[in-house]
Structure 1
C-alpha cells in the first residue's frame, strides 16, 4: 500500500467524479438502507450520499486512505464507524448487515472470490449488495488493452486491476443479480444484487 496514492486520489479523480461518477454514486448509495457495510471505503467519496442508512460500518485496509476519509464523515448525518480491515476476512457475525456497498473497490481486492463469500456470510438473507465497479470490457480490442496496461496500472494505482471481471465473480458467488446498468460502453457497471 502506497502512502502517496491516498493523498493524490481525490485530486486525480475530481474531474471524473464531478462530470461523471458522482451522479452514479449518489443514485446507488441512495438505495443503501439499514445497517450498511461499505467495503473499501477509500477516501470516503460515498459518505456524503448516505441518506437512508441508519448506521455505516466502513472497512478500508489502507490506513492512509482512512486518514484522508475522516473529514468527509462530517458531510453526512448518518453515523459512520471506520475500521482498518480487509474484505476477505470480515470480523463480523453472520447476518449482521442489511446492505453491503462497494464502489470502485473490487479491482484492488487480492482475492475477490473469498471477499464475496465472506460478504454473503455477513449480509442478511435478502439483504442488498450494491456495487459500482470498472470492469473488463466486452470489446476484444479494449479488453486486450486493459490486459496490457494492468501490470503497470496495478503498480501505480495501489493494486488496481483494470481487467477484472467483477460481474462474473458476483454471478458465480450465488448472489441473485437483480439489475446491471452499464456506463461508458461497459467500462463501468452498477450491479444490484440480493443475498
Structure 2
C-alpha cells in the first residue's frame, strides 16, 4: 500500500491489516460491513501514518459523494461481496476520473481441473467462510465493468492475484 497516493477508499478493510502500510496517502476512508471487524481495526488505526476513518457500509452502497477518491484498494474482499457488479458501479461513481485501483484477491483459476474443484467446493465454502466464492472471476468482472486492468501478478498457481489499473 506504500505506493498508493491521494485520497483512498479501502473496500472491506476487515481487521485493518493494511492500515499501517499506507505511507503516501493523504487519507484513507475504509468501509467494512461487519461491526466486529471495525472494532478489531480500531487498534490498528493508531499505527497508521495517515488519517484513517472507518465506516460500517457495504460496497454496493458507498456513503460517499461522486468523484471523491484518487485510489481504491481491497484485500481478499471481492469474493464475499454479494453483488460485485453493483459494487463496481459504486466504485466507479465515487472514483475521480483516472483514479487507480489496487487489489489482492483470490480468483477462479484458468486450469480446468483446479477450476472444477473450486466449483465443487464453493457452496460449502460460502456457508463456512462468510459468503466467500472460491470461483469468482474477479478480474473479468472488473474488465467487463470497464476498468482498465494494467498489471496482474499471479501467485499460488494462479489462485491469488495482485492486479492494478485505472478506473474509467
Fold similarity call, TM over 0.5: yes
Cα deviation digits, residues 57-102 of structure 1 (max 9, x gap): 0000011111111111111111110000000111111110010001
Matched residue, 1:9: none
1:191 to 148, 151, 163: 163
* Counterparts of 1:131 and 1:147, CA distance in 2: 23
Name which of 61, 64, 76 aligns with 2:33. Answer: 61
Answer 1 or 2: which has greater strand percent: 2
Provide the C-alpha distance between the structure 2 equivalents of 1:31 and 1:121, rounded to a whole number of angstroms: 23
Match of 1:112 in 2: 84
- C-alpha RMSD of matched pairs (Å): 0.8
Task: Give distance in 1, aligned partners of 2:127 and 2:46.
Answer: 32
The match for 1:159 is 131
Shift of residue 191, structure 1, vs aligned partner: 1.1
Higher helix share: 1
- Runs in 1 of length 4+ with deviation above 2 angstroms? none
| Count of aligned positions | 167
- Partner of residue 125, structure 1: 97
Scaled by the length of structure 1, the TM-score of the pair is: 0.84
Q: Secondary structure at the match of 2:99?
A: strand
Q: Where do 5+ consecutive residues of structure 1 fail to align?
A: 1-28
Q: Which of 67, 70, 94 matches 2:42?
A: 70
Q: Secondary structure, in 3 states, of the residue corresponding to 2:39?
A: helix
How far apart in 1 are the matches of 2:64 and 2:46?
Answer: 25
Structure 2: segments with no counterpart, 5+ residues: none
Q: Structure 2 residue aligned with 1:87, among 59, 68, 87?
A: 59
Could you tell me how far apart the structure 1 residues matched to 2:61 and 2:110 are?
31
Report the counterpart of residue 147 of structure 2 in structure 1: 175
